[in-house]
Homo-oligomer: A and B are copies of this chain.
Amino acid sequence: MPEKISLAEKFQRFDDHWAPRIISRYNSNEVRIAKVSGDFHWHKHDQSDELFLVVSGTLDMEFRDSIQVLHEGDLIVVPAGIEHRPRARNGEALLLMIDADGTPNTGDPETAFKPVEI
Seen from chain A, the residues whose Cβ lies within 8 Å of a Cβ on chain B are: 1-8, 23-27, 29, 31, 48-49, 51, 53, 55, 61, 63, 65-66, 68-70, 73-80, 82, 96, 98, 100
Contact = CB atoms under 8 A, between A and B. Distances in A.
B7 A75 contact: yes
Given A4-B69, A31-B77, A75-B96, 14 more contacts: A1-B82, A2-B63, A4-B61, A4-B70, A4-B76, A5-B75, A6-B74, A7-B75, A24-B75, A25-B77, A27-B29, A27-B100, A31-B75, A98-B98
Q: Taking the full assembly, how many copies of this chain does it contain?
A: 2
Given A29-B27, A49-B26, A49-B27, A1 B77 contact: no
Given A7-B74, A26-B98, A74-B6, A1 B63 contact: yes
B4 A75 contact: yes
